[in-house]
Chains A and B, each alone.
Chain A
Amino acid sequence: MSKFAKKKSGELPAVSTASLPDIVFMLLFFFMTVTVMKDSDVMVENTLPNASEIKKLEKKDRVIYLYVGKPTQNYQKVFGTESRIQLNDKFANVNEVGDYILSERAKKPQELQNVLTTALKVDKDANMGIISDIKQQLRRVNALKVNYTTYQGDAFNNLQ
């Protein structure tokens, strides 16, 4: 008989899955390294606007975060749908911002206290009234370095 006749037709060889764990581990390590555990729960809607001319905030220990936006669905019953400021884990009024910045500043090491940046994470549907109030507050406590946190993207998308 010819040697070619031996092969059985129609049967596919089984694909080896031995390297599957390796692939999965690779993915796992990727996600483990990029994951940042959130330190505070965001209670406001926080779709940041897009901008293209952005700069990265390098040193995380020098940043104080402020969140502004509409309360999320769970909180709307209590806090309404107007834009609110979130400091740490609670909603706050505009006039509490200054004190918050001062207390956060006091928590930081002495040598960093003069180089702090305030990152404003503001929902793109918020209006400027609340932002200018916050800015006045920041000026009062001499927290002059501000970063409007945005996503990387085309700024023209913000208008829709």
Chain B
Amino acid sequence: MSKRTDVPKVNAGSMADIAFLLLIFFLVTTVIETNAGLDRRLPRWNDNDTTIVMRYERNVLAIFLDSNGKLMANNNLVQLKELKTVALDFIDNGGSLSTSEEYCSYCKGERSATSSDNPAKAVISLASNRETSYGAYISVQNELVAAYNELRNREAQRLFKMNFTDMETQYGKAETSLIVKKELKERIVQIQKRYPLNIIDAPTITKN
């Protein structure tokens, strides 16, 4: 006679089938959300948009993107691949004289008198048509941000032995402690002051 306390074994053979069913349900309904992109700050609204500060022509890199995806930088036709170098040379030029207050000691550019004075003064103006495709616009924005990131990384490596982009990702993480965050923030602001992101979405008025 068998004991009454014996529990009969449940057949687990169909467990895999049930799991498969659930798996297929989640596979079908899954949308892996993309939540990453290019951060940008829009300029404040002012009622008369004509109050743009006049700038010296040498301090402006005027980029125009037409509806066919053709690029003009300071009236020269450039390829998208070359844009990063063009922007890099422009921002990092540091044309001010070493005697002036605006001298850029950390720039490694050509210091040409016909290009930007220092990174804070350098402005990239990106104009586009209404028919320009959004994809092309994003590519251009991406290249410009890439140029800035390269310079900021270089500067951050020199000062803090760390990449600027890594500092930003670490700052954004929730598990980073507050003390580390405070220090990171100071460093980030310092780098941002040295290479501020000056990208304007409109043609600018220049003087010679």
A contact set with B: CB distance below 8 Å = 17, 20-21, 24-25, 27-28, 31-32, 34-38, 48-58, 60, 63, 117, 119, 122-129, 131-132, 135, 138-140, 142-152, 155-156, 158-159
**Do residues B37 and A150 form an inter-chain contact, with CB atoms below 8 A?**
yes
Contact pick for B201, options A56, A132, A143, CB 8 Å: A132
Give the docked Cα–Cα distance between A149 and B43 (Å): 19
The 5 closest A-B pairs by CB, nearest first: A129-B130, A124-B135, A158-B135, A31-B26, A149-B37
B4 within 8 A of A: no
B35 within 8 A of A: yes
Q: Specify which chain B residues have a CB less than 8 angstroms from the CB of A150 in the assembled complex.
A: 34, 36-38, 138, 142
Distance (whole angstroms) from the CB of A101 to the closest CB of chain B: 12
Distance (whole angstroms) from the CB of B114 to the closest CB of chain A: 28
Distance (whole angstroms) from the CB of B173 to the closest CB of chain A: 8
**Interface digits, B33-53 against A, CB 8 Å rule (1 contact, 0 not)?**
111111111111100000000
Give the docked Cα–Cα distance between A144 and B41 (Å): 5
Given known A155-B142, A156-B81, contact A125–B37 (CB-CB < 8 A): no
Inter-chain contact count A-B, CB under 8 Å?
171
Q: B32, B67, B131, B134: which has the most chain A beta carbons within 10 Å?
A: B134
Give the docked Cα–Cα distance between A122 and B168 (Å): 25
Q: B40, B41, B128, B137: which has the most chain A beta carbons within 10 Å?
A: B137
Given contacts A58-B174, A132-B130, A143-B42, 16 further A-B contacts (CB under 8 A): A31-B23, A34-B32, A37-B29, A49-B138, A51-B138, A51-B142, A55-B169, A57-B37, A60-B35, A125-B135, A127-B130, A129-B130, A132-B201, A148-B141, A149-B37, A150-B38
Chain B residue with the shortest CB-CB distance to A27: B23
Give the docked Cα–Cα distance between A117 and B36 (Å): 12
Give the docked Cα–Cα distance between A155 and B133 (Å): 13
Q: Specify which chain B residues have a CB less than 8 angstroms from the CB of A131 in the assembled complex.
A: 134, 137
